[in-house]
Amino acid sequence: MEVAKADFIAGMAKGMAVLESFDTERQRLNATLAAQRAGITRAAARRHLLTLCALGYLETDGSYFWLSPKVLRLSGSYLASARMPRVVQPTLNRLAAQTQGAFSAVILDGAEVVIIGRSAGMSEVTPIMAYGLHLGARLQAHATSTGRVLLAAMTNAELTQWLKHYPLPRLTPHTTVERKGFRGAIEQVRADDYCLASEEHEMGIHALAVPLRNLQGRTVAALNVVASMRQRAEALRKELLPLLQDAAHELRPLL
């Protein structure tokens, strides 16, 4: 969304940049590290860190800062109030109970996909839990089945801009990082209308995804299931792809 310069609060933008600097790679930051990650001066980073700490969103030992449980209010409010998580969750629960698999609903946010709904059967194994993570988890879009499905919904011009803006880091030996090969993979997703990614984000894991479209035909999210490599890709397509496609069709009037 574009906003007029007079309406843009630069201080809030910098504060949010500092808050977003914390991730799984850097759980604790001092002012110098926060400044580097947020792209602001050390003095500004220090003020924002102290303010966020005073507001209860960060905790500190005097030198380093880390996220407090209060930040969950932000994601919790979204999950409680946003329509899509509420709409897809019953379907995820049904699929998980029916197959004992791990299912997620995902949206695209820049270079990452974000899990907005998730349900897993009782037989879910540890490696799949590691991949599926939790509500609000963020994964690299280029290496995930859901990310590729969502990127396939872009126009060629939009995909070109996305590739210019975001790198394709290698996460496993099987991750596609060459841009030409990645474009080819996206074209295949467009042709198939689904994506099967094997060991591109995590070793030992298949991930199968289909688009979730609304009645206007716009892709608004992706639905996926993960399975261990013990299950053959063809069996995954035969047994679980129809379930995902049927679920996507049933959800379409609700999106």
CATH of the domain at 18: 1.10.10.10
Residues 111 and 44 in one domain: no
The answer to which of 77-81, 101-105, 134-138, 169-173 has the lowest mean pLDDT is 77-81
Q: What pLDDT score was predicted for residue 228?
A: 85
- From 71, 101, 128, the end of a domain falls on 71
* C-alpha to C-alpha distance for 81 and 43, rounded to whole angstroms: 36
Highest mean pLDDT out of 14-23, 140-149, 231-240: 140-149
In a domain, 77, yes or no: no
Residues 180 and 132 in one domain: yes
* C-alpha to C-alpha distance for 175 and 153, rounded to whole angstroms: 21
On the question of pLDDT at 124 being above 60, the answer is no
- From 71, 95, 114, the end of a domain falls on 71
Q: What pLDDT score was predicted for residue 84?
A: 92
What angle, 0 to 180 degrees and rounded to 10, lies between the N-to-C axes of helices 42-54 and 10-19? 80
Highest mean pLDDT out of 17-26, 153-162, 224-233: 153-162
Torsion (CA) 18, 24, 25, 30 in degrees, nearest 10 = 40
Containing domain of residue 246, as a range? 82-254
Residues 149 and 238 in one domain: yes
Residues 136 and 111 in one domain: yes
On the question of pLDDT at 81 being above 80, the answer is no
End-to-end CA distance of the chain: 21
* C-alpha to C-alpha distance for 44 and 34, rounded to whole angstroms: 10
* C-alpha to C-alpha distance for 148 and 126, rounded to whole angstroms: 24
Task: Give per-residue pLDDT as tens, 125-171.
Answer: 444 444 446 888 889 999 999 999 999 999 999 999 999 999 999 99
* C-alpha to C-alpha distance for 72 and 53, rounded to whole angstroms: 15
- From 71, 103, 129, the end of a domain falls on 71
Number of domains making up the chain: 2
Model confidence at 239, in pLDDT bands (50, 70, 90)? very high
Q: What pLDDT score was predicted for residue 4?
A: 87
Residues 13 and 87 in one domain: no
**Its pTM surpasses 0.85:** no
Of the candidates 107, 110, 128, 111, the residue with the CA atom closest to the CA atom of residue 119? 128
The domain that holds 196 is classified in CATH as 3.30.450.40
* C-alpha to C-alpha distance for 82 and 2, rounded to whole angstroms: 22
In a domain, 59, yes or no: yes
In a domain, 76, yes or no: no
% the chain with pLDDT above 90: 76
* C-alpha to C-alpha distance for 167 and 178, rounded to whole angstroms: 10
Model confidence at 123, in pLDDT bands (50, 70, 90)? low
What are phi and psi for residue 109, nearest 5 degrees? Answer: -140, 90
